[in-house]
Amino acid sequence: MTIGRREFLYLAGGCALAPIGSAWAQQWPARPVRTLVGYPAGITPDTVTRFISARLSERIGQQFIVENRPGAGASLAAEQAVRSQPDGYTLLLAAAANTINTSLYPKLSFNFNRDLAPVASIGGVVFIMVAHPSVPAKTLPEFIAYAKANPGKINMASRGIGSLTHVFGELFKMMAGVDLVHVPYNADYTTDLLSGRVQVAFNAVAESAGYIKDGRLTALGITTAKRFAELPNIPTISESLPGYETSGWLGIVAPRATPESIVERLNGNINSVVAEPAIQKRLAGMGIAPMSMSAAAFGKFMAAETEKWAKVIKFAKIKV
């Protein structure tokens, strides 16, 4: 077979580039690595990213910098990550909101699962279903029975259409077959929940633990599959409503073509950091359950989350 000059140069160039690319990946990181966070500084996703990044800097010997890029429900940061070079120097804090946004914003310029590569899971922000004491139900089965007997008479607060506090409630409504009236807020609804103006909500555990302890809110169930170690006496929702499971999970992803060797190195180091007793204690104090897994398993998890929320958004006819 005769090979033309153009084909020869193409093949020769490919052979020459292969070892260079491999060596380049082996030298990573030769400069600081940035992690884009689609949330403002000071809130839980940002705080978690910062202390995980600090430990990665110590372990790997290169600075890991956090850059906040809030906006569009965390989609602005995701879009910037998609457009970044897949060289291991740009990472993105992925969160449950990213998989919700895939269906909530059908005109996004990128596909979260296709354009970003899973790197490592960090943990799940545990949520809890709470009710005002005026609701005559102290357990989830009692609440479901009461809600079915009083359709459209219980107000469910959320932090806005498409927020975690909204879709977690819609998933519950869909699975339990109850009619709760969604009341979206542009700001914090805690005052109205404590006064009984709205009767039920799905809050992060860290936000509600104190109110539950002093009897100002009734704990009906933890949203995760397992009971939360810090509140072991509160049952999970799935104990009464099999199959219900969700959390405000956090993890790290990278541009799709990031070298596998870099992804695996990051996965191993992040999993090791999350396994440290001091880090686990800090996560637990923030209402976060550690959730480590391989990069491949994390990818499957995100795909399943995307599919789950697509069904909920379609069922509840949620539109921004």
Q: What's the CATH code of the domain at 279?
A: 3.40.190.150
Q: Residue 160, SS3?
A: coil
Structural domain ending residue among the three candidates 205, 221, 239: 239
Residue 21 falls inside a structural domain: no
- Give the span between the Cα atoms of 203 and 200, in whole angstroms: 9
Instruction: For residues 251 and 117, state if they share a domain.
Output: yes
pLDDT at residue 14 above 70?
Answer: no
pLDDT at residue 4 above 80?
Answer: no
Instruction: For residues 141 and 220, state if they share a domain.
Output: yes
Instruction: For residues 38 and 111, state if they share a domain.
Output: yes
Residue 1 falls inside a structural domain: no
Structural domain ending residue among the three candidates 189, 210, 239: 239
Residue 37 falls inside a structural domain: yes
Q: What mean pLDDT, rounded, does the chain reach?
A: 92
For the segment 273-312, what is each residue's pLDDT rounded down to a tens digit?
Answer: 999 999 999 999 999 999 999 999 999 999 999 999 999 9
For the segment 76-126, what is each residue's pLDDT rounded down to a tens digit?
Answer: 999 999 999 999 999 999 999 999 999 999 899 999 999 999 999 999 999
Residue 106 falls inside a structural domain: yes
Residue 304 falls inside a structural domain: yes
Is pLDDT larger for residue 12 or for residue 264? 264
For the segment 64-90, what is each residue's pLDDT rounded down to a tens digit?
Answer: 999 999 988 899 999 999 999 999 999
Instruction: Write the CATH number for 227.
Output: 3.40.190.10
For the residues 175-190, what does the mean pLDDT come to?
Answer: 96
Instruction: For residues 135 and 224, state if they share a domain.
Output: yes
The pTM of the full predicted model, rounded to 2 decimals, is: 0.88
Residue 106: predicted pLDDT: 85
Instruction: For residues 120 and 131, state if they share a domain.
Output: no
For the residues 26-52, what does the mean pLDDT come to?
Answer: 95
The domain in which residue 40 lies consists of 29-124+247-316
Residue 14 falls inside a structural domain: no
Instruction: For residues 55 and 114, state if they share a domain.
Output: yes
Instruction: For residues 253 and 280, state if they share a domain.
Output: yes
Structural domains of the chain, count: 2
Q: Residue 210, SS3?
A: helix
Residue 2 falls inside a structural domain: no
Residue 6: predicted pLDDT: 42
Instruction: For residues 265 and 212, state if they share a domain.
Output: no
Residue 22 falls inside a structural domain: no
Instruction: For residues 119 and 135, state if they share a domain.
Output: no
Bridge-based pairing of strands 200-204 and 127-131 is: antiparallel
Using left for φ > 0, alpha for ψ between -120 and 50, and beta otherwise, residue 310 falls in alpha
For the residues 221-240, what does the mean pLDDT come to?
Answer: 96
Residue 9: predicted pLDDT: 41
For the residues 156-172, what does the mean pLDDT come to?
Answer: 97
For the segment 239-265, what is each residue's pLDDT rounded down to a tens digit?
Answer: 999 999 999 999 999 999 999 999 999
Instruction: For residues 198 and 153, state if they share a domain.
Output: yes
Structural domain ending residue among the three candidates 214, 239, 264: 239
Instruction: For residues 76 and 112, state if they share a domain.
Output: yes
DSSP string, 162-207: TSHHHHHHHHHHHHHT---EEEE-SS--HHHHHHTSS-EEEEEHHH
Instruction: For residues 224 and 273, state if they share a domain.
Output: no
- Burial of 100 (C-beta count, 10 Å sphere; 0-12/13-18/19+): buried
